[in-house]
């Protein structure tokens, strides 16, 4: 690869934006488009670039923490609770820098609690998005950082990691080769994903589905990973999503002999089984 993305910036930039649009693009994804002049300082690196999303506290104006170098959390906690913004981690799914008003898409997973209610503060925000309402975004850079001598790629994700893997597939060189294992809830989600990005011809994509509705998200992706041949020693693996998938995927690849420096893994959230 000629272009290696850097990792977390030393001086992450806090940007502000407003909601421009929100659209359900498939059964499990809501695409929220945000933009405005406040995004002008956002340094787009592509791949799996992610950020801390700040949403106004209910009934309050948006109050953002002060950022000093990489530090922001202490300032965040010092904001009185009734004004403290909700904070969550999201991937910059697409970015259009053109013009005076740049735009970013955020692909938010829609997940439902066992009682059929939409789960998660950000999913609620995404589906009830009010055009013009403000948000803050603190850039956290990219995690995907293959060593220069990388022969092939192994990308593994469940739905929350799909925006990251989709961004990597979009930004890899056209001659990149390897495998991606992606677990999504429905065939319509897969159809949207594959139609939304140009995938390098030599990346083979395995899309898998949960076996039953109560399964831990990512279990089918982990099972598929365990059937694949051992990666070549110069492969680079990127495994993200539910914590069991990230940790189990790393364990599997270590057992198969892949060097730990060639495995990037991160649990994006933790599944808690429903206890009736
Ligand atoms: C680097 C990074 C990038 C991420 N990028 C994205 C992204 O682009 N799109 C995206 O949708 N998510 C993404 N996530 C995951 C997201 O941060 C979590 O799903 C987070 O819990 C959502 O925040 P929230 O405040 O809405 O959830 P909360 O309100 O804190 O969570 C509510 C409950 O829902 C559960 N939950 C969270 N996600 C799911 C899920 N997918 N299925 C079932 N239950 C769930 C939580 O465990 C919790 O119990 C990313 C995470 C990281 C670390």
Q: Are residues 184 and 131 in the same domain?
A: no
Q: Which residue has the tokens 């990005």?
A: 197
Q: Do 122 and 108 form a contact (C-beta atoms < 8 A)?
A: yes
Q: Which of the listed residues 95, 118, 139 is the one where a domain comes to its end? A: 139
- pLDDT at residue 4 is higher than 50: no
- pLDDT at residue 3 is higher than 80: no
Domain count, the chain: 2
In 10 A of CB 171, how many CB atoms? 18
Q: Are residues 129 and 156 in the same domain?
A: no
Distance 94 CA to ligand 1 centre (A): 18
Handedness of CA 167, 205, 210, 23 (dihedral sign): positive
Can you give the pTM of this predicted structure? 0.95
Instruction: Give the per-residue pLDDT at 276.
Output: 65
Q: Are residues 118 and 161 in the same domain?
A: no
Q: Which residue has the tokens 């589906």?
A: 127
Q: Are residues 61 and 159 in the same domain?
A: no
Q: Do 260 and 237 form a contact (C-beta atoms < 8 A)?
A: no
Residue 274 token pair? 């429903």
Q: Any residues with Cβ below 6 Å from ligand 1, and which?
A: 50, 88-91, 107-109, 111, 119-123, 159-160, 163, 217, 268-270, 272
Q: Are residues 84 and 61 in the same domain?
A: yes
Q: Could you report the per-residue pLDDT of 30-75, keeping only the tens digit for each? A: 999 999 999 999 999 999 999 999 999 999 999 999 999 999 999 9
Residue 266 token pair? 């991160």
Q: Could you report the per-residue pLDDT of 235-275, keeping only the tens digit for each? A: 999 999 999 999 999 999 999 999 999 999 999 999 987 76
Q: Which domain holds residue 69?
A: 14-139
Residue 265 lies in a domain: yes
Residue 71 token pair? 């530090």
Q: Which helix (H) or strand (E) holds 220?
A: helix 219-225
Q: Are residues 33 and 65 in the same domain?
A: yes
Q: Could you report the per-residue pLDDT of 168-216, keeping only the tens digit for each? A: 999 999 999 999 999 999 999 999 999 999 999 999 999 999 998 789 9
Mean pLDDT rounded to a whole number for the chain? 94
Q: Which of the listed residues 93, 112, 139 is the one where a domain comes to its end? A: 139
Q: Are residues 135 and 19 in the same domain?
A: yes
**Where residue 98 falls among pLDDT bands split at 50, 70, 90?**
confident
Sheet with 29-35: list strands edge to edge: 86-91, 50-55, 134-139, 14-26, 29-35, 103-109, 94-96
């Amino acid at each position: 690869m000629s272009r290696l993305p850097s990792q977390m910036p030393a001086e992450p930039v806090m940007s502000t934006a407003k909601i421009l649009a929100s659209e359900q693009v498939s059964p499990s994804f809501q695409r929220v488009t945000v933009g405005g002049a406040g995004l002008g300082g956002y340094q787009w690196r592509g791949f799996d670039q992610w950020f801390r999303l700040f949403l106004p506290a209910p009934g309050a104006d948006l109050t953002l923490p002060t950022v000093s170098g990489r530090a922001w959390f202490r300032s965040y906690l010092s904001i009185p609770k009734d004004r403290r913004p909700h904070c969550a981690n999201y991937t910059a799914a697409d970015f259009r820098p053109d013009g005076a008003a740049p735009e970013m898409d955020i692909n938010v997973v829609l997940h439902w609690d066992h009682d059929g209610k939409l789960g998660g503060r950000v999913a609620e925000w995404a589906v009830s998005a009010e055009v013009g309402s403000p948000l803050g975004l603190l850039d956290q850079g990219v995690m995907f950082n293959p060593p220069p001598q990388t022969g092939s790629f192994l990308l593994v994700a469940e739905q929350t990691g799909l925006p990251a893997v989709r961004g990597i597939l979009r930004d890899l060189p056209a001659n990149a080769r390897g495998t991606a294992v992606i677990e999504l809830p429905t065939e319509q989600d897969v159809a949207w994903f594959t139609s939304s990005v140009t995938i390098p011809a030599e990346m083979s994509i395995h899309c898998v589905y949960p076996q039953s509705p109560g399964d831990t998200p990512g279990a089918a992706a982990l099972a598929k990973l365990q059937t694949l041949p051992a990666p070549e020693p110069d492969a680079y693996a990127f495994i993200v999503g539910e914590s069991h998938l990230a940790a189990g995927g790393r364990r599997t690849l270590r057992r198969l002999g892949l060097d730990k420096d060639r495995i990037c893994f991160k649990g994006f959230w933790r599944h808690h089984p429903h206890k009736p």
